[in-house]
Amino acid sequence: MWDEVTRPPTEEHVAAVASLARAAEPRCGDVVVVALDGPSGAGKTTLARGVELALAADGPVAVVHMDHLYPGWDGLAEAPDLLTRQVLEPLSRGEHAAYRLWSWVRERWAGTQDVPSCRFLVVEGCGASAGPARPYAAVTVFVDADTRLRRRRGIARDGEAYRPQWQRWADQETCLFAADSTRARADLVVDTSSL
């Protein structure tokens, strides 16, 4: 499953992101938002786990996985707005934030997830730094890898059931990233092809 981290992130990548986060000024109220963006299978969840552990010594860290916010296989374009309205805007006002959880099995919204009080918020997933979410991110990272490698990772991680959806999702990523210039506007680009 996408959230099962089975390999450690590269220490160099974790250190680079954590260093940027520690030096960053908050843009979301008092919260430093670290947005780990990029295409499926690039290693965003793995990097997020490493960054979460690295920053924990500096204060409370919360993590939001964009996979919980996508409203189905055709919902990537909508997700940055959902992240902004449900999480980033409330946090920027010093208010409690919670977001609706998408059930991929039931193909509908199923419950909510509170965002705990934190100094650092790591948001990982496609669209984490795109569109209306970008102004709230103190650090934006674009995580990428070779396309064929990413596909192999994604199928190995999510199983054969994901294979028919791969291109459908990849086409949405291409559109979103091109319209938003996500990679070009990132503070840091991390390539995990050698992992």
Pairing status of strand 61-65 against strand 137-144 = unpaired
pTM for this structure?
0.93
Tens of pLDDT, residues 49-100:
999 999 999 999 999 999 999 999 999 999 999 999 999 999 999 999 999 9
Domains (range + CATH), the chain: 11-190 (3.40.50.300)
- What pLDDT digit, counting tens, does each position of 107-144 carry? 999 999 999 999 999 999 999 999 999 999 999 999 99
Q: What is the mean pLDDT of the chain?
A: 93
Q: What is the DSSP letter of 58?
A: G
Question: How is 100-146 classified by DSSP, letter by letter?
Answer: EEEETTTTEEEEEEEE---SEEEEESTTTTSGGGGGGEEEEEEEE--
